[in-house]
Chain A
C-alpha cells in the first residue's frame, strides 16, 4: 500500500491541467518591478563601484574620462595616512560604541522584561531614539552639548569638568559615540526583549528547584539562549557603525581638524568634495571587504555556543 502511494505521488505532481502550459518567464513578470529596482539601484551601482575602483575618474569628465589605472588606487590607499587615520577612528568608534550599545540594550531588555508598572510606555520611550529623524537628533544633541550653554555641561560643571564636545578634537568622537549608544540601546533592548520571552522556562524552573543563583541562571541559561540574538545585534551594529555618516555630516563635517573623519566620511570627502571617484570607490571596496571579514569572524565565533544548537 505504502509503496503504491509513494510511487503515485510524482505522477500527480507532474500532471498538467489541460490547456495550461507552464511558462517560467511569467514568474519573472510578477517580480519584475522589484527585480528592475534591484538591478538599477543595487546591482549596477555595486558593479560600477568595483569597476571604478580600478580607474582614475572625476565624474565631471564623463564616461569618456575614465582611465583605468590597474591597482594604483589600492597602492595609494596603502600609503595614504588619511585613510589609515579614518580606519583607526572607525575602529575606535565601532569597538567602543557597539559593545556598550549591546550591553546597555541587554541590561535595559532584562529590566523591561520584569513586571514594571507602565512597562509598555517605557518600551516605547526607549525605542523612540531609533525612529526619530537623524536631523532632529543631531540638532538636539548639538544644543545639549554646547560647551557653554548646553545642559550636559551645566550638569558636568558640578563635577568641575567642561568638555568641548563638538568644538574639540579630543571630545568630538566621544560625543558621537555617546549619541550612537543612546540611539542604539533602545533598539537592542527591544530585540533582546523578544528573545527573553522565548527563553526556555522549563530550564529556569529546573534551576530554581536546584537552588541556582541569579548569576548562575544568567550565565548558564539566559546568556546562551541570547547568544544568537547577540550575534545578530553585533553584526548589524558593526555594519551600521562602520557606515555611520549622517550625524557626522550633520554635526561635525569630519572635524574639528580630522578628528571625526571616519571611513564613510573620508569616502564622501574623497568622492564628492575632491571628485576622486575612482579612489573613493577603491576605499569603498576595501572597506566592504574589511567589514565582510569582521562580520564573518563574528559569526563564526558563536558557532556551537548557542543554547539551542
Chain B
C-alpha cells in the first residue's frame, strides 16, 4: 500500500483533481498506521524531554544562565565561559588527569582483556575455562559503590588486609587511599577487576569464529602453539580488536563519573579531578551552571570528534570501522 502510494505520487502531475486524491491518500496512510504512530508517542515524548531538551539547554554554555529568567531570556555572553575555562589552571590539570587515566586504561586494561581472552581460548580443561569465565564476569554487575566499598575495606587504615600486606612487604606505611601517587594505580586496578572479564566476551566470540582449517594446515606445516596464535589467531581477531579500539578512543574523555567521584577525597584531588567530576563540583555543588555546561559541552564535542576521527583512521588502514 505504501509503495503503491509513493509510486503514484512520483508520476503524478499536480492537477487539482489529483491533489485531492493525494490528500485522501495521506488520510488513508494515517489511518493505516494510526496504532503504530500512537505507540510511538510515549517514546518520542521521552526523547524530546530527556535527550533533546538538554541539547537545547546546552546553549546556556554561551549565556549567563539566571534560573528565574530561564534558558531563553538569560543574556548571551558568547565564548566567555570557554575562554575562562581554557585560561584557568584547572584546564591543563583536568586534561592531563583525564588523558593519563585513559592512556593507562588503553595500554594496560585493553591489552589485558585480549590476553585473558587468548588464555581462555587456549585452555583445554573445559571445566576450568567455564569456571574462570563465570567468576570474572560477575564483578561487572556490581555497582561502583560496591567496588569502592571493597577498596576502602581492603585498604582501610584500621583493618585493611591489603594495606597491611603491602605495607609489610614495602616496610613503610603507605595510606593508599589518601596518597595521590596511588590514586591512578588503584583506579586502573578497580577498572581491571570490574571490567576485564566482561570485555573478554566479545573477543571470545571472535575467537570462536576463527576458521579451524587454518590451524590444521598450520599444524601440518609444523607451526607450534605460539606461532599459531601469532600468525592465525591474532590476525583473525584483528578486525574486532580495531573496532573495540575505535570505541575506546571515542571514550577517552569519559573517565566514568561514579568511579572517580567515589575515589576522590580532599587529599588526592590534584590527580583525581577529571572533566566529569569537575562538571559536577562546579555545577551542582557550586551552582556555576553556565560555566560547567561549557566544560561539559567542550568534552562532548571533543568526544564526537574523537570517535569519528578514530573511525576514519581505522577505515583507512583496515577497511573496518563502526559506521
Q: A and B, one complex?
A: no
